[in-house]
Structure 1
Amino acid sequence: MLYRRFGRTEIKMPVLSCGGMRYQQSWNDKDPISPASQRNIEACIERAIELGINHIETARGYGTSEEQLGKILPTLPRERIIVQTKVSPEADPAEFLATFERSMKLLRLDHVDLFALHGVNDETRLSWSLRKGGCLDAALELKRQGRVRAVGFSTHAAPRVITAMVQDGRCDYVNLHWYYVNQLAWPAIQAAAEQDMGVFIISPTDKGGRLYEPSDKLVRLCDPLSPIVFNDLFCLARPEVHTISVGAARPADFDEHMKALPLLDGEGAAQAALAPILRRIDEELERVLGRAWLETWHVGLPDWEAVPGHVNIREILRLYNFARALDMTAYGKMRYNLLGGGGHWFPGNRADRVRELDLAQALAGAPQRHRIPEVLAEAHALLAGQEVRRLGKH
């Protein structure tokens, strides 16, 4: 395993982390835990430790994950593992702290190494976190008490919200989404690097493209690497990124990610492996979508709140681009059909009614304003299915 200094936390962090969102018994923390499910989660942790992946990440919102981890983590040498949990900010910090206590009881630990405010996704939760006496102050008091070693935040937010949280200066690290198919948060990562914060990329394999079930075209374009290894290298080749999450559902899920390590160990090896793949993907995107569209589709787009019908234009066009050009339709459908049911984790609506909406004012600053309504309609025809709701709490 390779390890990197996790920013100013000074924690020696493995470049692959064991994410706790896919191996739990249930998203409902009241459900009984079966012996088979418990054996599986323990096998996942044992395999992670065997590989040198000693960072184990979970959250109060991950159903039975904390309770199940609490049956194995206390049996491991505490100094050898890095444990992170996360609690969503609340309007009332007392409720936030009560939820933290619930997490600690379930984990059966006297402290966690990393504690994050979970889902600082919008202006409301930003205010709950940063205001005087708010949830970040409460978390920092836990740090002063020695109950957490470092305080950070996780986010699915727009860059302006992430950057505001980073520039506050009190957080030690950030968990956020950034990978090949979604590079919007790069300025926030650069801001975090300037603050010497740890940077942890979440869900690179699932939200990063459903890479465990890649399209045939993506497989061909990434050859001789798998799409998983390509994306791992894309993230970890940047020194600003310290670790990425492997959301393992079973012990074997770590194996493909381990293939990235030899290419990270040699100087320039990752860039050399990435360069021809990036060139092929870029050429295919241009062939299918056209250079003018690729260079301008995102320019001048309003945030979803400012769009009639709250259509999340930026996200829909992003999904459309990869579905059309790289046959990533299954990924596009998975994400597109969360719109309208994703709450603050995945806000805005689909383009069901786009032909009925007057988007002229919202798109006035967009070079592609005349084409975008038709592309939105095409995206809906390509990606629409039954609307789904995001799993988990909050």
Structure 2
Amino acid sequence: MFDEKNMKKFKPKLSFYELEYLTETRVGEKEIKSDSVYNLVEKLTGIAAPTKKTKFDTIWESFYLPVRRSGRRVSIPFSVMKYKDDFYISFRFTGNLKISRGNDEIEKEYKEIFEDALRFSSLIRDTNGEIAVKTVPYDYRTGKIKGKYVMDKLMPGKEKTRMLKLYEKHREKKLKTSGVSLDDYLDTAAVCYRAAYPKKAKGLSSLEMYKKWADGRHGGMLDIKDFNSRDEFMGWKKSSEWIGAHPYEIVFSWHRHGIHLYPPDEDYGKPYYVLGVTNYAYAGDFIKMAKALIKEEIPFHANDFDDVLNFLAGEKYFTVNDYDELRFLYIPSREYKNKYFKYIEWDELKVVEFK
């Protein structure tokens, strides 16, 4: 059980800033070639069952290192992976180490990291994990929170319902097209551009708009001789010329992809355009485009339409302190505690399974 006696035993040798310094590296991990450190890591992994074991590596997750940070005693999660004969240590959000056998002269603090981790593991075992729960700071924990609690601007519920009904009615019409030319495709993209960027699109031709906002890697699409020929556009589309290019990314994004508008493809049972968004920073533009296509009665389907509306209405979850497309970083401050803490659904803190 956890009590004050356990807390008195909780005396970290290192500060958090020393740990940052010891594990800092711009690329990859800092390698430590030391038999004494290697033996300590081997001893540490020997007290716990692996979390995952494959043909190539063995992984132990949810070890903890006690450190001093801003006048408080806290513990930082880390994992160990053994690959071939080396250990790879990953301190969450902090840094990485590679521990190999060798006799290099090293700073004594590298031994202290794993001596402290071993000592703290005994406390974790004795308290049934409670000391870790009490001491891991919330900026090192993960969880989830609904977007409505962290987003600056939300789509009203009535607007979400209205857009869903508009789109459902559009789909019920089962509009189709038998094929398009490049001019047809660019003109449809122009409907999208004018809806999302009315001021910037004013006075521009369909081709000029495409060149302004699209990815640019058109894969030979703009080299078609007759923009008004359906056969030529469909012939290019069926060719391998544009493999690896992004001709249909009508709004470019540096992060992942922006907005795509795929032309109709009867060969695959899709006699309609397909509108999609990958980077949700463009979700609002995507909805404006969909609304315009509905108004113009252009045959199209919108990928993940419900999901995009849920995001804009704040109903989608953001991960907290984890790597994901929708991510929220929790800062352990009074402001964040008052504003966000009660809305976060924290993940259960895990500890290694001791042998």
What TM-score does the superposition give when structure 2 sets the normalisation length?
Answer: 0.23
What TM-score does the superposition give when structure 1 sets the normalisation length?
Answer: 0.21
Higher helix share: 1
Q: Greater Rg, structure 1 or structure 2? A: 2
